[in-house]
Amino acid sequence: MYQYNDIDQTLIEQRVDQFRRQTESFLKGQISDDQFRALRLMNGVYIQTHAPMLRIAGPYGLLNSKQIRKLAHIARTYDKNYCHFTTRQNVQFNWPQLERIPDILEELASVQMHAIQTSGNCLRNTSSDHLAGVCLDEIEDPRPYCEIIRQWTTLHPEFAYLPRKFKIAVSGAKLDRAATQFHDIGLHLVKNDADEIGFRVLVGGGLGRTPIIGQVIKPFLEKKHLLSYLEAILRIYNLFGRRDNKYKARIKILIKESGMEKFSELVEKEWLLIRDDLELSTDRIDAIKVQFTPPAYETDAGQDSGFELHQLENKAFATWIKYNTADHKVAGYRAAFISLKAPDSPPGDMTDTQLDAVADLADQYSFGEVRSTHRQNLILADVKQADLFPLWQQLDALKLATPNIGTATDMICCPGLDFCSLANASSISVAKEINDALDDLDYLHDIGDVKINMSGCMNGCAHQSVGHIGILGVDKKGAEWYQLTLGGSSENEAAIGERLGPAVAKDQVTKAITTILDVYIKQRLDDESFLDMVNRVGITPFKEQVYANN
């Protein structure tokens, strides 16, 4: 895991001091709301329905136990004893007092964390595969390149005020677990015909009110040209992106209006001007790679016999292993998911007590590291199979072992009307109702891989457009209604969900979801997944049943 050097630490400490002065000036009435708005957004501060919201960067989803304990402390001291993990691997606090936010940022800086560029029209937190470095299908660990990009993007003077926010995701595996096709720039580590590893570059993806799948702009980019090519793309976007209409300001709209061929020509021309001056040296890459050296795995970890025995003797443990752990590239280890989707908890939320306990578990079982995922869960990525049973027991006691990863109750859910000032409809209460209806684990596991994503507004923070089942809250004359989509995916075969039909009333959402799942169970073929069935039969069979009485 990357450790800050003196430059990194000085930078975030100076930013804390700067924002403290800015906040004090605002509270004294010395700067206006409009002036302060740009300053607070660049430091992760939103004004929500009930209180300010502070978003904290989780660089490519990687946190250590000391940082997790600090989040627990902040939750207790400055908030209402919990925090929220987002789909972009960040952390949010929903109840801080504005005058105390500089104190929170100072606390974060003490453990190499910050909120810089987690909001506003700038380069946002770089995200990545939550199984980076441990998955079986990896071509190369993407985290060193994420860190290089993080350093390049942080306070980049040319891109501080872009036409709109800008997000980059990096994947190093064959399976896209980072939704790279729905980012402004998506980077895939790939091999060319000469067996050299470089990047396939996608551009113009995005969600929100106009979901678009990114297009390949560069099939193979040498590693040494990574930063210069990214800079060229950003320069063209900064020059030509629309600033007259925020709904048409994203790079995806620029490419849609200008065409990929024209946009690519502009990027290539700009790149040739700057390519040689921004070359990324092998020494620089190697220096960052050292920070991601694999931990000291035990070579005999695979010889443990108790792991299989515990599964034979304990059905609940065996179920948890099946759904909440993943294969590891080192024999005798597995990656263990920490489910933040307990039936009675808002998706993605963790209490201070849970945070402290997970920090201890990370130290005890996973080399002191924790990762956040795109589906609002956490992972202990390096757990010996001999340690999985005691880990499961402790997670179960903490209500963090619900065996539902990848199932219908592993929902992505935004805060909705409960907190967000942009929301048109509730999300958390609807998710709770769906959870209650799907409380039979045998039924849930029989359904299998179903990704339900629910957003309370068109911004799509919960990625409803790419859910196998998408739920979007809309306002109809002051009443909460919900549009349903089917067939979306953010993985390799990326797809935008197709709208099922008219929006349904809030009290009909759960019935619609259970009806959709019932149609799937009755009409699937053998082991056919939900998404495969939707792709085979289309939405008509589902539509007929959902709207049968309307």
- The secondary structure of 77-133, three-state, reads HHCCCEEEECCCCCEEECCCCHHHHHHHHHHHHCCCCCCCCCCCCCECCCEECCCCC
Phi-psi region of 61 (alpha: psi -120 to 50; beta: other; left: phi over 0): left
Report the mean per-residue pLDDT for the chain: 96
Residue 49 scores a pLDDT above 90 = no
Phi first, then psi, for residue 278 (nearest 5°) are -120, 30
What's residue 417's pLDDT? 78
| C-alpha–C-alpha distance, residues 148 and 158, integer Å | 17
Residue 147 · residue 227 · CB < 8 Å: no
Query: What is the tens place of the pLDDT at every residue in 373-388?
Result: 999 999 999 999 999 9
Q: Is the pLDDT assigned to residue 456 strictly greater than 70?
A: yes
Separation CA 314–CA 311 (nearest Å):
5
Query: Which amino acid is present at 250?
Result: R
User: How far is Cα 17 from Cα 168, in angstroms, rounded to an integer?
Assistant: 28
Q: Which helix (H) or strand (E) holds 10?
A: helix 6-27
Q: How far apart are CA 161 and CA 307, in angstroms?
A: 53
Q: b/e map of 411-447 (b: 16 or more CB within 10 Å)?
A: bbbbbbbbbbeebbbbbbebbbbbbebbeebeebbeb
The C-alpha angle 305, 310, 315, rounded to 5 degrees, equals 145
Determine the pLDDT at residue 50. Answer: 82
Q: What is the pLDDT of residue 459?
A: 85
One-letter amino acid at 449 equals D
At what angle are helices 388-397 and 315-324 packed, to 10 degrees? 90
What are the tokens at 281? Answer: 């040296």
Query: What pLDDT score was predicted for residue 167?
Result: 98
CA 60, CA 303: separation in Å to the nearest integer? 33
- Does pLDDT of 360 surpass 70? yes
Mean pLDDT of all residues in 5-12? 97
DSSP 212: B
Are 473 and 423 contacting, i.e. CB atoms less than 8 angstroms apart?
A: yes
Query: What is the per-residue pLDDT for 109?
Result: 98
Q: Give the pair of three-digit tokens for residue 412.
A: 């992505």
Say what percent of the chain tops pLDDT 70: 100
- To the nearest 10°, report the CA torsion of 221, 226, 230, 231: -130
Which residue's structure tokens are 């080399």? 367
Asked if residue 98 lies in contact with residue 44, where contact means CB atoms within 8 angstroms, the answer is: no
Q: What residues contact residue 170 under an 8 Å CB cut-off, 6+ apart?
A: 60, 126, 127, 128, 129, 142, 145, 146, 149, 178, 180, 186, 187, 188, 189
What is the spatial distance between Cα 530 and Cα 535, in angstroms, rounded to a whole number?
9
Report the percent of the chain where pLDDT is more than 90: 95
Residue 417's nearest CA partner among 75, 2, 49 is: 49
Residue at token pair 């979801």: 513
- Average pLDDT of the residues in 171-175: 98
Two tokens, residue 467: 């859910």
Q: What is the 3-state secondary structure (H, E, C) of 415-483?
A: CHHHCCCCCCCCCHHHHHHHHHHCCCHHHHHHHCCCCEEEECCCCCCCCHHHCCEEEEEEEECCEEEEE
Q: What is the mean pLDDT of residues 441-448?
A: 95
What are the phi and psi torsion angles at 313 (to 5°)? Answer: -90, -20
Secondary element (H or E) of residue 254: helix 251-258
Confidence (pLDDT) at 179: 97
Please, what is the Cα angle at 67 between 65 and 71, to 5 degrees?
115
How confident is the model at residue 484, as a pLDDT?
98
Structural domains of the chain, with CATH: 6-109 (3.30.70), 134-288 (3.30.413.10), 301-397 (3.90.480.20), 412-546 (3.30.413.10)
Give me 464's structure tokens: 């409803």
Q: Is the pTM of this model over 0.75?
A: yes
Cβ contacts of 547 within 8 Å, gap of 6 or more: 501, 502
Q: What's the whole-number mean pLDDT along residues 524-550?
A: 95
Question: Sorting pLDDT into bands at 50, 70 and 90, what band is 550?
Answer: low
Considering only residues 424 and 139, tell me which one the structure prediction assigns the higher pLDDT: 139
Q: What is the C-alpha to C-alpha distance for residues 309 and 313, in angstroms, rounded to an integer?
A: 6
- Residue 419: the pLDDT is 81
Q: 492 and 181 in contact (C-beta within 8 Å)?
A: no
What pLDDT digit, counting tens, does each position of 188-228 carry? 999 999 999 999 999 999 999 999 999 999 999 999 999 99
